[in-house]
Amino acid sequence: MYKVLLASVGHFFDSTAEIPSIFKRAGCIVDVFCSEESWLRSNRFHDNWIEAPDDEENFKYHLADYVRKNTDNYNWILLLDEFTLKLMNNFIGDDQLLIDRLLPIKKIENREVLSSKIGMSNACTRYNITTPRFINYTEDLSLDYIAQNLDFPILLKEDFSFSGLGIQYCATINEFQACLDKVLSKKNLVLQEFIVGEDIGVEALFYNGQLVSYNCSTILSYMTDKFSFTTRRIYYQDADLALQLKKLGESFGISGLGSIQYIYHKERNLFYLIETDLRSNSWMPYSKFMENDMSEGVKQIMSGKIIGEFPKTTPVNERLEIAIFDRDVRRCMKNKDLKGFLRWAFNYKGYWRFMPFYDTKLFKRIFTKLYKDFFKIA
């Protein structure tokens, strides 16, 4: 039986909650390595829970020790969130066993892409992957140098950030200094040109550099601004984007999950790679509602026969609108969006199927959180 271990540090990443269902639906035995309060164990789709410390310092030693002792018991081990990936990447050094078992890349020379925006930008340059022009900021750079090498507006990005945190929009060179003053640490900052175009979110599964499964989407709703996390999307397939993903997987040597973002510039007919986060996200389990179910990709990996073929570009009338229940309801509460509430009340486009009634354990935790949020806001 194919056996996987899913690991996550801390208890605050709700994006991991439904990831075990992807592997369970594929027929895997699913073990989770996390703390008692972790969202990763707030589901009924895992078989075994290995208790882990909830502080990072102890977590990394416990996970490394567990993997060394049980490496032959698992076909696949995945680190599910940005903090766990960064923590273990920094910790394991040149330990080849842990590199092979824990890191979601097979070309170790590309290790810098893990949890680093600078690393991703550098790798894109190496492999001729289209990405916005960028500068790795240092405090000795003058404003004149920045203005000469980048066209404004730009994004100021902290090297390690997630869900839109640590990203600032700077419309002009005059605004840049004010944005920079808000950053506590001036080390490892990326200045990236802001590309105007269509935001495209991608969830992908890779294995040994090969693209196994993917779904892409346009964004309908953000929690706050366009740098925050999303609550509603429209999903489809795009043959041209699939080619971009294949090149990305082969170039970086990706082997695992990918939460990826592109911006499509229509006039130039170019996909600009913006983010390559090699971890899970909250949208991945919703592939079960789509033609290209990520669980089917896991089955291909289990069988050793990866098809590597994907549907052609999805017709407009076959695109699927999906919303994450708790995220979108919290957005509606925060923004006093009555129309948004009515979508859920009247089962707009089948929204009720996205409510977590299919998992009583997850349902209880989500509604407890919403209840607390509601009365906090009220």
Q: At what angle do helices 56-70 and 82-92 cross, to 10 degrees?
A: 70
- Of 67, 55, 6, residue with least CA distance to 32: 6
Going across the sheet that includes 320-323, the strands are 270-277, 256-265, 198-207, 210-222, 230-236, 320-323
- Mean pLDDT in residue range 49-74: 96
Confidence of residue 165 (pLDDT cuts 50, 70, 90): low
- Mean pLDDT in residue range 355-373: 88
Question: Cis omega before residue 153 (within 30°)?
Answer: yes
| pLDDT reading at 378 higher than 50 | no
346 Cβ contact partners less than 8 Å away, ≥ 6 residues apart: none
Long-range contacts of 176-184 (CB under 8 A, 24+ apart): 176/143, 176/146, 176/152, 177/143, 180/156, 183/156, 183/158
Highest mean pLDDT among 154-158, 178-182, 331-335: 331-335
| pLDDT reading at 67 higher than 70 | yes
| pLDDT reading at 38 higher than 80 | yes
Q: What residues does each domain of the chain span? A: 3-103, 106-116+196-320, 133-193, 324-378
Q: What's the pLDDT score for residue 21?
A: 97
Whole-angstrom distance, CA of residue 62 vs CA of residue 73:
17
If DSSP codes are grouped into helix, strand and coil, which group holds residue 231? Answer: strand
Q: What's the pLDDT score for residue 157?
A: 80
Confidence of residue 376 (pLDDT cuts 50, 70, 90): low
| Phi and psi angles of residue 255, each rounded to the nearest 5 degrees, phi first | -145, 90
- Mean pLDDT in residue range 224-237: 88
| pLDDT reading at 98 higher than 50 | yes
Confidence of residue 97 (pLDDT cuts 50, 70, 90): very high
| pLDDT reading at 12 higher than 80 | no
| pLDDT reading at 374 higher than 80 | no
Q: What's the pLDDT score for residue 249?
A: 97
DSSP E strands: which ranges in 41-172?
A: 48-51, 76-79, 134-137, 154-158, 167-170
Pick the CATH number of 133-193 from 3.30.479.10, 3.10.580.10, 3.30.2310.20, 3.30.1490.20: 3.30.1490.20
- Of 71, 68, 96, residue with least CA distance to 5: 71
Q: What's the pLDDT score for residue 18?
A: 96
Domain 3-103 fold: Rossmann fold (3.40.50)
- Of 31, 157, 8, residue with least CA distance to 82: 8
| pLDDT reading at 240 higher than 80 | yes
Pick the more confident residue, 53 or 308. Answer: 53
- CA end-to-end distance (rounded Å), the chain: 49
Sign of CA dihedral 206, 237, 261, 154: positive
Give tens-digit pLDDT for 340-357. 999 999 999 999 999 999
Domain 106-116+196-320 fold: D-amino Acid Aminotransferase; Chain A, domain 1 (3.30.470)
Distances (CA, A) of 158 to 104, 118, 177, 182: 22, 9, 15, 11
- Of 230, 291, 294, 283, residue with least CA distance to 259: 283
Indicate the helix (H) or strand (E) that contains 203: strand 198-207
Q: What's the pLDDT score for residue 174?
A: 81
| pLDDT reading at 163 higher than 70 | no
- Mean pLDDT in residue range 258-284: 93
| pLDDT reading at 160 higher than 70 | no
By the 8 A CB rule, do 163 and 222 touch? no
Task: Indicate the pTM of the whole model.
Answer: 0.89
| pLDDT reading at 116 higher than 80 | no
- Mean pLDDT in residue range 223-252: 92
Q: What's the pLDDT score for residue 90?
A: 93
Distance of CA 22 to the CA centre of its chain: 15
Q: What does the DSSP assignment read for 86-115? A: HHHHHHHTT-HHHHHHH-SBS-GGGGGGTT
